[in-house]
Chains A and B, each alone.
Chain A
């Protein structure tokens, strides 16, 4: 009854959806349209932009220098997504198969990082990875220990410990992005695995399959919608990552978002920044289009 009203009564429908619609138009579509228009404009003076319909910004944005940065951003985002998937899948499975008592706590553990600001989390991670950080201290202690044991058995000691450069390089960017994005991967995977009928897994075991084969032939294919959702929800923000490469990356690890930021701030070239932004948005559109075109996997259950 209520559902029917919901669908047929246009007044109710409009009243309910209007605030959201207004919000989206006012704060998303209009600003986006302005930026989109800027991407066809030229700088006239410090604050003035003349929307002349030029394509020069896009020409410049597709120059080799920027294409390589786009390419690198894609590569980093893809690597981050892959690592998140490989790490996240067993985590999601562990949560799914944990006892009723433990599951909410494990899920809380996954979501806990969201309670802290990203900036603070990133700085904390930097303290961990710095040359004087805990990671290096730990490694140093292991190194010294090994050296000491070697002298005990009469071997040459190891050379003195040189802290490893864990920060301000590509490794740090990937590590930081994986750290930030892992929950985005785990949650949709968990949602998909939790819906999986346990008896399908038992049936596979019953028919002689081992655990590994059961996971590869039954669990993974049936969790495919969750995997796709997890990949998209990780890949897209990772592609536009700004803070992590900015704080943790080195001179050669800037991603496209950092370049865009520079155009809007230091370079004061809004039209070019807008063109770069929209190239990124087009790329994301393409990703989503590919995802929605893929063959529909039969629903689980």
Chain B
């Protein structure tokens, strides 16, 4: 951490318009050498366009893209020091695995013996050793993806671009590939830039995530910062699951703040939010940060306040919906105000899901540092 991270890709005020449609709108961001960077956003947000501009398949309408300090304007895809793994993998169907992986090396003029060695090494890296003579139509989707990975990695690019790399795999394989991709990235030390709409994928693999919404960068942060400190309602809602309540900022001091939400009541925080007094704000509260229990359990006083530990916020409601997901149970609770809130509860023991049922009255409480106050 002594030397500052060096940007390998610099995207400077890049916009891309297709006719009247603005796909990418004045985006500036730096991607550091050696990091696993993920562009996350809903479909049609412009993230793939951004990736394709780095690869050279689309040209920016405005702005500059620099790779390793070099301006990429006018440099075609086949001359850029980046390689891409396509969403459809784009493995050449008329070539064997070895020929696929050797394709770029042969074009680069690498000699026969070295080609063989590097192909074998790349296939070993993606755990496809021994598959050299297979044809792509004899392989599964996951294997074809590994071929596409090996074919790009064998070129030793400065940056590897991955377009929705896991979207076509089934859930189990996807989870496994998330770890493998992270491992691979650490092993080869190449900068990975991945595009995905899947937040789990982004959170599990990325060093840093750029959330893209409507062609703009909504937030640029590490996975945990993104989740715990979302910058706006879009990020809070898109990354993970969240309850959002509208309210007015009624107290804002360096060490405490309060928001009055018509839906949730007064929410107290143990830190300042630096917003103008009386401003319209939103309180975001993650379902897993809310504790759920039977009202008045262990105490005689039938008040939610008594159920909550000191310094916690509290609320009461009635269970209106439940879904048992195995590791957690998800509750939909109608608050006394009529608003609804989602709460998730880990099933720590085998019978935890039996603790509550529909129409049960429940108390909830959450720590004063759990809610996030959003200004936009």
Chain A residues near B (Cβ < 8 Å): 197, 199-200, 202-210, 213, 217-218, 221-222, 297-301
Contacts and interface: CB of A to CB of B under 8 A. Distances in A.
B137 A298 contact: yes
Given A205-B57, A206-B55, 19 more contacts: A200-B93, A202-B57, A202-B84, A202-B86, A203-B84, A203-B151, A205-B77, A205-B78, A206-B83, A207-B104, A207-B151, A208-B79, A208-B108, A209-B78, A209-B103, A213-B107, A218-B92, A298-B135, A298-B136
B303 interface: no
Contacts of B94: 221-222, 297-298
A109 B57 CA distance: 30
A300 B107 contact: no
28 contacts: A199-B86, A199-B88, A200-B92, A202-B55, A202-B57, A202-B86, A202-B90, A203-B84, A203-B86, A203-B92, A205-B57, A206-B78, A207-B78, A207-B103, A207-B107, A207-B151, A207-B155, A208-B78, A208-B104, A208-B107, A209-B103, A209-B104, A218-B92, A222-B92, A298-B135, A298-B137, A299-B93, A299-B137
Interface of B: 55, 57, 76-79, 83-84, 86-88, 90, 92-94, 103-104, 107-108, 135-137, 148, 151-152, 155
Contacts of B135: 298
A205 B76 contact: yes
A265 B355 CA distance: 100
Secondary structure dominating the interface of A: helix
A209 B76 CA distance: 11
B92 A208 contact: no
A206 B79 CA distance: 8
A225 to B, nearest CB: 11
B93 A300 contact: yes
A97 to B, nearest CB: 13
Contacts of B79: 208
Nearest to B82: A206
Nearest to A213: B107
B107 A209 contact: yes
Contacts of B137: 298-299
Nearest to A297: B94
Contacts of B107: 207-209, 213
B103 A204 contact: yes
Contacts of A300: 93
Nearest to B103: A207
B151 A301 contact: no
Contacts of B136: 298
Contacts of A207: 78, 83, 103-104, 107, 151-152, 155
Nearest to A210: B78
Contacts of B88: 197, 199
A202 B93 contact: no
Residue among B83, B103, B151 with max Cβ neighbours from chain A (10 Å): B103
Residue among B84, B94, B136, B151 with max Cβ neighbours from chain A (10 Å): B94
A203 B83 CA distance: 9
A199 B104 CA distance: 15
Contact of B84 (A206, A221, A297): A206
A203 B88 CA distance: 10
B362 to A, nearest CB: 50
Contacts of B76: 205
Contacts of A222: 92-94
Given A208-B107, A298-B135, A299-B137, A199 B90 contact: yes
Contacts of B90: 197, 199-200, 202-203
B86 A301 contact: no
Contacts of A213: 107
B92 A202 contact: no
Contact of B77 (A206, A218, A299): A206
B303 to A, nearest CB: 62
A204 B152 CA distance: 11
B331 to A, nearest CB: 43
